[in-house]
Chains A and B, each alone.
Chain A
Amino acid sequence: MSRIAKEYKKIVQFLSQDHQELGVVSLEPIEGDLSRWNAVISGPSETPYAGHRFKLSLSLQEDYPLSPPRVTFEPGTMPHCNVDFQTGEICLDILTRDHWSPAWDLLHVLEAVVQLLGDPVPESPLNIDIANILKVGDTLAYWDLINYYMCLPCLVDDC
């Protein structure tokens, strides 16, 4: 686990330098346990998510970095075609065992998640409604639907 301790040091250093352009707002271990982390990312600009912040939880397994971290959004907060709205589960190739590389770290993962918000992949959906709208190319409906989700009561603190 010395690797994750090193990452922690790097993350603290990184966040203190204020890299807003990556969209990573905060990333810290839960109660000093380096195998469970909470993160907050901000929605990238020129997407319907711009101006909102999203909470994620990351958990590392025993053999990290040989196995990928498990990353989920806070349940019921993320309307995205590759995210299960109910559970927060994310469908992202680099988070699967087959595509993960131990050369990546937690900041890479969050970066990839932020990118996913800007580049939804409707071919492998977990949220079928949004994926269908994207497939037919109805951009207006896509933006409005997400904006509608954003104003749901559970997200009200972000509005």
Chain B
Amino acid sequence: MNQRLTDASDFAQSAVPQLTQLDKLLRCHICKEFLRVPVLTPCGHTFCSLCIRQYLRQDSKCPLCLNELRESSLRSEFLINEVIEVYKSLRPNLLNVLVTKSQTESPLIELGSHSDEDDDIKIVGAREKPSSSASSSLSLRVSKPPARAQSLLKNQAGKAKQKMAQCPICEQFYPIEALERTHLDECLTMQSLGSHPRPAEKENSHARKASPLPVPQKRAAPKPEPSQCHEESESNLHVDKYLNSAATVDRQRLPKVNFTSMSVSQIRQKLASLGLPVSGTRQNMIARYDHYEMLWNSNFCDAIEPVDETELKRQLLSWEASRNSSNAFGSVNSISFIMKRANGGKSYQKLLSDFKNDKFDRRSWISLFHQEFKELVREARRKLVNKRSAQALTANGEEAFQSSA
């Protein structure tokens, strides 16, 4: 989850206020966050899988157009999912660059003063200025090909100054230093293992062999630099993930259960068969199953990368914990009872209510439970020591047993 509250209006003051629209479109209309595991309705609207499932539980219609809508007709949207992932990773950089730029200097003035020059080049120049200090990754992405090629040439020229030599084993060219230091060893071990050197290196050296004077050749077919290689593989990650996605159902969808006709023990059985806790009242257990069913179906039916069952159970637990802390404030567990006695209870309750948000006061929480934490640490140490001595004892015993045998 985002630490800071992001909102579409963040772009309103930036150099490209139109991005507000894009930002708005990529958000769920229920939670107003960026869509998490987006699903498409038959009426063409998109929501977070969990949000819409939660809403459909109480009302079976689309929140946007109010047409009838059933949970079974939701389809996952992998493309939007990846688009949002890419956008989310881009957004901080985008904001950084666009907002600082609009504050320092208006791009319009720049454009006007050099109106005789080419617009494309202008924009590149204007963008590179702030980004060179803020983030180099973005400047690579937004800069136009000529600039990219130029920087490539510069790097290439620098490399060409190094003396190259051919490796006697793989017959490829490497800088002498690198060859002597690492490559020979690498090559030899690779050969003895029956495999070839890393393909990336191979490619690079091939290119060098083909063009002893790399300058004009490079312009025609620029090779990605290491940093760009990384960038590309990262952006391709989302493309690949999308291309490889398929609506596989390797786990059965959990059915909705009509609990009205079931006895408490039957409900308990049902929960136990899924490995869920069976504590609490009938109401608690039903709510627990319903929420788990939602998490499960959203995860295994909609998500592009389903998480593990244990993670789902963890989510269920935290959901239940937050629900209980807000619903039944009066429920007395042992710790809160102790704390009430010791500290008047008020500060503890206040701290607890903030436990899950950013306002949580870590320091006073620590000081409040200082004694308890100390006790726990002491106990853990004692247990560790006990365990060790027990192990030593058994090891001794075994030895003694063996020697006697």
Contact = CB atoms under 8 A, between A and B. Distances in A.
Given A6-B33, A102-B55, A102-B63, 15 more contacts: A3-B30, A3-B32, A3-B33, A5-B5, A9-B5, A9-B9, A10-B9, A13-B12, A62-B326, A65-B30, A101-B63, A102-B29, A102-B51, A103-B29, A103-B30
A6 B8 CA distance: 10
A20 interface: no
Interface in A48-65: 62, 65
Interface in B163-201: none
Interface residues of B, number: 21
11 contacts: A2-B33, A3-B31, A3-B33, A5-B5, A9-B7, A13-B7, A13-B12, A65-B30, A98-B59, A103-B29, A103-B64
A87 B55 CA distance: 30
A97 B32 contact: no
A15 interface: no
Interface string A101-139: 111000000000000000000000000000000000000
A6 B33 CA distance: 9
A10 B7 contact: yes
A103 B65 CA distance: 10
Contacts of B64: 101, 103
A66 interface: yes
Contact of B5 (A6, A65, A98, A103): A6
Interface residues of A, number: 16
Nearest to A5: B5
A2 B12 CA distance: 21
Nearest to A7: B32
Contacts of B61: 101
Nearest to A104: B63
A103 B7 contact: no
A9 B51 CA distance: 21
Contacts of B31: 2-3, 65
